Amino acid sequence: MCANIFKNIYICNMRIAYDAKRLFNNYTGLGNYSRTTIDILAERYPDNEYRLFTPKVKRNVVTLPFLLNKSCRVFEPPKGMPGSVWRTFSESYDIARGNTDIFHGISHEIPFGLRSRGVPSVVTMHDVAFKTFKKMYHWHDRIIYDAKFRYSCRNADHIIAISECTKHDVMRFYGVPEERISVVYQPVQRMFYTPMHKEEAHRQLASARFSLPLPRDFMLYTGSINSRKNLLGIVKAMELMPKDVLLPLVIVGNGREYKREVQNYITSHGMEKWFIWPLERVSDKELQALYTLAKVFVYPSYYEGFGLPVVEAMLCGCPVVTSNVSSLPEAGGPSSLLVSPDSVEEISAALSSVVSDESVRASMIAGGLEYATRMFAPAVIAEQLMNIYKTTIENFSYGKL
């Protein structure tokens, strides 16, 4: 694809550089975002060169597709140079000397000195949870995050926010003018757009090495287990549910102090039989199977940059109960039941309604699938990103930035 971006100059087969540290070394949120973003871009625009800059590469089944993809090139530090030194002092030089058209800091950060080396940049901002939930972060981590985020917001030529909520947080905390920010929703792994049949879902879970067998009917929570995610609110809401509609809750996620707090509450209230903790982490196929078979996915978080599990659940035909705050109404759309995360009564009533009323479930499933497929289509997101790249290069070349 070629773009006439300024007079007599064309960009063909763009050379786009990325901070790929998390793509190759992180297997949860930001790593998944990095991999899915590069995947949908390379699939739709294979003639571009996607330059993946990383201090190290972990070679495994997750990263292998990017090592083998002909559209991708991997750049690492020179032999003997520590990755942290390279990222701080040499990465921007290596990016610039390869005639890179644009750099995308895919997880909050951009290297120092890109602009002075003639390379325009965009940065994706996911959330500013360390400012809204300060107690979850050590003070020194907050200082480091704030410094990195502030530098990126001031020095990137354009900012991508993964939701309207994140956009307004970036404007609020870093004083960024609205015209410098574009909202591009977080992409979902392509596998979730191919529905899994229930028979296959049962096979996936039957072969999984879970610590406990799963019941036929269950509710589902998946995600980190911390105070922001509000798992304790779900537990307290389940106490209020009528016993004839109450179902066990399958919990997939990792946590520490807050997880112990939740487990202590469950034990002290004699509710152990209603909670199943099969594994802290499952494969993507196992996760898809859990979404496919769950009666309802419940996610009453206090704050999310986007709320990816909500979209994954809807794409798998699972009705969603989630919060009416932060970005979650954007992720959940009109067919999810939105509740106050502070109200265990609202959470309880919503869960009871979905579990007990098949017509409610059917309507939520159909509406959620239509909304998620339309709003978060990979082709749409890839095109939005590519248009931002082209516009940013054009404005940089014209000296408008």
pLDDT tens per residue, range 265-301: 999 999 999 999 987 778 889 999 999 999 999 999 9
CATH assignment of the domain containing 307: 3.40.50.2000
For residue 49, count other CB atoms closer than 10 A to its CB: 17
Same domain for 285 and 249, yes or no, is: yes
Q: Which domain holds residue 178?
A: 2-187+378-398
**Are residue 6 and residue 121 in the same domain, yes or no?**
yes
Are 222 and 326 contained in the same domain? yes
Buried b / exposed e along 77-109 (16+ C-beta atoms within 10 A): beeeeeeeebbeeebbebbbeeebbbbbbbbbb
Residues 371 and 383 in one domain: no
**Same domain, yes or no: 116 and 211:** no
The whole-number pLDDT of residue 29 equals 85
What is the pLDDT, as a whole number, of residue 211? 63
pTM of the model: 0.90
Task: Report residue 160's pLDDT band, with 50, 70 and 90 as the boundaries.
Answer: very high
Q: Are residues 157 and 277 in the same domain?
A: no
CA-nearest of 133, 111, 131 to 122 is: 111
Same domain, 266 and 299: yes
Mean pLDDT (the chain) is: 92
Buried b (16+ CB within 10 A) or exposed e, 253-289: bebeebbeebbeebeeeebeebbbbbbeebeebbbbb
Q: Is the pLDDT of residue 4 over 50?
A: no
Asked if 229 and 344 sit in the same domain, the reply is: yes
The pLDDT tens digits for 40-93 are 999 999 999 999 999 999 999 999 999 999 999 999 998 889 888 888 888 999
β-sheet bridge partners, residue 2: 12
Residues 177 and 212 placed together within one structural domain of the fold: no
Percent of residues, the chain, with pLDDT higher than 90: 81
Backbone angles phi, psi at 189, to 5 degrees: -55, 140
204-242 in b/e form (b: 16+ CB < 10 A) is bbeebebeeebeeebbbbbbbbbbbbbbbbbbbbbeebe
53 closest CA partner among 1, 122, 100: 100
Q: What's the CA gap between 51 and 252, in Å, rounded?
A: 34
Burial class, 384, CB count within 10 angstroms (exposed 0-12 / middle 13-18 / buried 19+): middle
**Domain shared by 14 and 124, yes or no:** yes
Asked if residue 109 and residue 31 are part of one domain, the reply reads: yes
Number of domains in the chain: 2
If you search the block for the tokens 């106050």, which residue do you land on?
Answer: 340
pLDDT digit string (tens) for 300-329?
999 999 999 999 999 999 999 999 999 999
173-194 average pLDDT score = 95
Residue-level pLDDT at 6: 38
CA–CA distance, 94 with 157 (Å, rounded to integer)? 19
pLDDT for residue 20 is more than 60: yes
Residues 100 and 244 in one domain: no
Residue 278: its pLDDT value, please?
85
